[in-house]
Amino acid sequence: MTSRTAADLLSEIILQRPGFRSAYGGLERAAAESFLTGEVTQILDPVDAKHLLRYADVLSHSRDAHHRELAYTAIALLREYDTAVGLGQELSDRVLAVAEAVLVQLGNFPGIRTLQKGVGSRYALPLSRGALRIAKEVLQRTSKGDATLTDAQYAITEKMRGEDYFSFSGPTSLGKSFIIKDALYDIVRRDELNDHCVVVLVPTKALIGQTAADLRNLLSEVPEVNVATYPSLPKILRQRYRRTIFVLTPERLLRYLADPVREIDYLVVDEAQKVIAKNDARSSLYYHAIVEATRRFATKLVFASPSIANPELFLELFGKATNGALAVKERTVAQHRYFVDLVAQRQYYFSGIDATPQELEAAPLQASVVDLILSRSGDRKAIIYINGSLKSAEFALRLAERRDAVSSDKEIDDLIKHVREYVHKDYFLASTLSRGVAFHHGKMPQEVRERVEQAFSEVESLIVV
């Protein structure tokens, strides 16, 4: 039985306290009102805010993923409330100080960097927390040394090092691709990979280009490695590069296995849930390709999948020991979930404590989805998810019709010019971009997709569908 710490027990007590549930619930309602209606009727008592800061600090010491997530969400909600309503200078400074301390305890270094982009805290970290930050920044450095892993990412990478067959799962915010790239950077610098290769298995052709581009950028200072996207490797490339990373779909991997020129030392299966998908006709291709690779070579396996409770399933499927399995539940971002029913004219937010829907008294002010999105996004950037390439383009056109033309922006202007020159002068994307809206789907030319992604990262008010 796993031993429990004092922080685990205290956190459980905190979650049962009416004072915590009332203060946290009030803060959630205030944030929901601010986002959905623009008016806050649920005013936060400064005493409750101070209590929440103390609770967040205790919760951040727990080893339970839910407790740690509540700690992060509490400080995120307080920061959001401070922006929307205001907490007063003294309390605002205290929130910044505790936020940094909580993020250090959680090992959330991306959050710390975001926090420090603002005004920063005028309080110094306690000595013990400052020492903890330094220790984590040293121990949890990536293989390349240019970033720091979160606590959850570090736990995965450490367990992966000692396993030939490894499977892990986690929520979207975990950064599974980041973990895989960090592991690959470590693997390909080893001399034992000379004249051998690594295969990264991805589900679609669109992901081949994106993954290969990321790996080439990551390995730009490792001259011995070639990143290939086709199931062939000419002799001239084998002579020039001693090590190879293939980024392939299952179909391309089977073609490579028909005439392999280098043994596969590692097979990394991204989006591993595709292997067992019931309604995916390609799942049998995944299975056959992986079985063939392990049958022909002593291939080590790494599976990465979304948040599932039993990642060992993939190891069992291929007859491997299950001691190299790890399921991570902890999120590294605060997620606020809302449901707006435009038919029944009701709107809800979901509690972070128990995920129950809580209805707001105010009805939606908007009559259509387009009105709702435009009113909530305002001048901020936003991503809208639509199922289907045609639907995403059509919805982008609907949004663009309701937005004014954007002021001249070099990034947008260059993208519009590129689209008209290299795709078509009447391509819909050019007209939507002129109004600060873009669409993005797998059927678009890869270069255009990448340019849209770059524009979204640099333009403050772009909406991408």
Domain span at residue 435? 367-464
Measured CA to CA, the distance from residue 322 to residue 415 in angstroms comes to 48
Number of domains in the chain: 3
In a domain, 337, yes or no: no
In a domain, 376, yes or no: yes
**Mean pLDDT, residues 76-101:** 89
Q: Where is the domain boundary, 312, 327, 342? A: 327
**Mean pLDDT, residues 384-407:** 87
Q: Where is the domain boundary, 139, 166, 190? A: 139
Measured CA to CA, the distance from residue 49 to residue 90 in angstroms comes to 12
**pLDDT at res. 120:** 60
How confident is the model over 180-200, as pLDDT tens digits?
999 999 999 999 999 999 999
Determine the 3-state secondary structure of 198 from DSSP: strand
Residue type, 332: T
Domain co-membership, 84 together with 183: no
Sign of CA dihedral 53, 57, 60, 63: negative
In a domain, 350, yes or no: no
**Mean pLDDT, residues 165-179:** 89
**Mean pLDDT, residues 121-140:** 82
How confident is the model over 277-294, as pLDDT tens digits?
887 778 888 999 999 999
Domain co-membership, 133 together with 156: no
How confident is the model over 292-327, as pLDDT tens digits?
999 999 899 999 998 788 999 999 999 998 899 999
Q: Is the pLDDT of residue 407 over 80?
A: no
Across the chain, what does the average pLDDT equal? 88
**Mean pLDDT, residues 163-187:** 90
**pLDDT at res. 172:** 81
Label residue 145 left, alpha or beta by phi (over 0 means left) and psi (-120 to 50 means alpha). left
Domain co-membership, 118 together with 163: no
Q: Is the pLDDT of residue 100 over 80?
A: yes
How many percent of the chain have pLDDT more than 70?
98
Q: Is the pLDDT of residue 56 over 90?
A: yes
Q: Where is the domain boundary, 327, 349, 383? A: 327
Domain co-membership, 126 together with 177: no
How confident is the model over 361-382, as pLDDT tens digits?
989 888 889 999 888 887 788 8
Residue 27, both tokens: 């803060």
Domain co-membership, 99 together with 163: no
How confident is the model over 17-49, as pLDDT tens digits?
999 999 999 999 999 998 888 888 888 899 999
Q: Is the pLDDT of residue 63 over 60?
A: yes
Measured CA to CA, the distance from residue 87 to residue 46 in angstroms comes to 7
Burial of 107 (0-12, 13-18, 19+ CB in 10 A): buried
Spatial CB neighbours of 98, under 8 Å, sequence gap ≥ 6: 53, 56, 57, 75
**pLDDT at res. 168:** 93
- Kindly indicate the confidence band of residue 119, based on its pLDDT and cuts at 50, 70 and 90: low
**pLDDT at res. 236:** 92
Measured CA to CA, the distance from residue 6 to residue 335 in angstroms comes to 27
**pLDDT at res. 1:** 43
Q: Model-level pTM?
A: 0.82
Check: CB of residue 231 under 8 Å from CB of residue 211.
no
**pLDDT at res. 199:** 95
Spatial CB neighbours of 292, under 8 Å, sequence gap ≥ 6: 254, 257
**pLDDT at res. 306:** 86
Domain co-membership, 126 together with 156: no
- Kindly indicate the confidence band of residue 122, based on its pLDDT and cuts at 50, 70 and 90: low
Domain co-membership, 165 together with 235: yes
From the list 330, 326, 320, the residue with the least C-alpha distance to 156 is 326
In a domain, 116, yes or no: yes
Domain co-membership, 21 together with 96: yes
CATH of the domain at 41: 1.25.40
